[in-house]
Amino acid sequence: MKTSDSDSEIMTTATSSIQGPANSDFELVEGELLPEMLMRRLKRRRQTLALAAASHLVNVALLVVYAAAGTISAAIVYAFAACAAGSVGFFLAVSETGVSNRWRDHHFAGPYAATTFALLLAFIYIAPQVAVVFLGALFLVANVVALRATPRQGVGAWTMMTVGVAFLFLLADLPLSIPFGSATERFGTLLTFSLTVGRSMFIGIFANSLRDTLYRRRVELEAAYKRIEELAELDELTGSFNRRCIMRMLDDEIVRAQRSKSPCTVALIDLDWFKRINDSFGHPTGDEVLRTFAITMFANIRSIDKFGRYGGEEFLLVLPDTPHDMAVQMLDRLRSIVATLDWSAFSDGLTVTISAGVATLGPHETPDTLLARADSALYAAKERGRNRIASA
């Protein structure tokens, strides 16, 4: 019944996830420190840039095929390779400095996509005879942007791409064509189509894997939130409801009982001579007594009953739909069960009994007056010698 260290870790992790940096993509992992998270971000950026470099290499390879066919000059291949390497190198340098960790888009997907978009448009203009290579790459850039873009960003990226391509198609009067004159050109065009489709499918597979990861993180966070809610309602020592929670439940039950005109009874329960137990056997034994008592109560009350720690060694039991006489019988049975437990297992000579005051809700009665009557009955039970049940 006692909350464990792992419960505290759950609360810390979930709270950190809630309060972490914006757009963290569920990146905080249980028990992970900030330096570890930043290192993992850097690793992801390196992987992303490595994939971008691999995609550029594919484009360079396709241009080499067209250069071999005589469609373009080798200078265009070198120029594109140099520009692509410069672009990847620049963003890699930015990533390694860690400055992007302060950005909302710490993967700088937007700036990199815009740079690549401009690069591809420029080479469509420079080498329109192999525009099919760069147009296919533009399609892949759009797919990558769609992975992280908001609807507004997506519309903006689509608009820029459409305007840029429209300029080349309608205003620049470029001889855009699909190379198909020789066997080498046909082979290059086939490769362009095949590798564009292949890279597009890879992006889709990656997106699906990302969705699965985010779904698992969401499930983990929901479980953590649920555990936090449970911990916020429970008394750490006994596992019973804490005072705030049991009082809220009492209020709800009183409202329900008054609306449905059904009986509702409460019992204030006190462990007899508990201070003597702490003084004679030590506080660790006293804690075990409280925990064992709470476990015993949970094992012997109904599922509709509400049991919580009212304060110290005093507990509140709320009994919905329970007439007064039946409640007194239930409490006397619980008293007998507690008294007959083998408490000497904790310490030789230890015995534990309880006293309780029982009160049933009256017409138009408030929680305060109901509890005051139960408290008076509990006081009377103690005055009569303890280890007994008294009615209000």
pLDDT 10s digits, 124-139: 999 999 989 998 898 8
The tokens describing 96, both together, are 């390694």
Q: Where are the beta strands (DSSP E) in the chain?
A: 264-271, 306-311, 314-320, 354-360, 389-391
Residue in this structure with the two tokens 């534990």, named with its chain if needed = 352
Rounded Cα distance, 258 and 253, in Å: 8
The tokens describing 229, both together, are 């809610």
> Could you report the per-residue pLDDT of 360-376, keeping only the tens digit for each?
999 989 999 999 999 99
**Chain centre distance of CA 372:** 43
Rounded to 5°, the CA angle 226-216-113 comes to 125
> Could you report the per-residue pLDDT of 317-362, keeping only the tens digit for each?
999 999 999 999 999 999 999 999 999 989 999 999 999 999 999 9
Can you list the domains of the chain with their CATH numbers?
5-228 (no CATH), 243-391 (3.30.70.270)
Nearest to 128 by CA among 92, 175, 161, 192: 175
Task: Tell me the mean pLDDT in the region 83-105.
Answer: 85
Distances (CA, A) of 219 to 137, 215, 326, 332: 36, 6, 44, 45
> Could you report the per-residue pLDDT of 237-287, keeping only the tens digit for each?
998 999 999 999 999 999 999 999 999 999 999 999 999 999 999 999 999
The tokens describing 157, both together, are 């990226």
CB 231 within 8 A of CB 3: yes
Distances (CA, A) of 111 to 39, 100, 179, 241: 21, 11, 32, 52
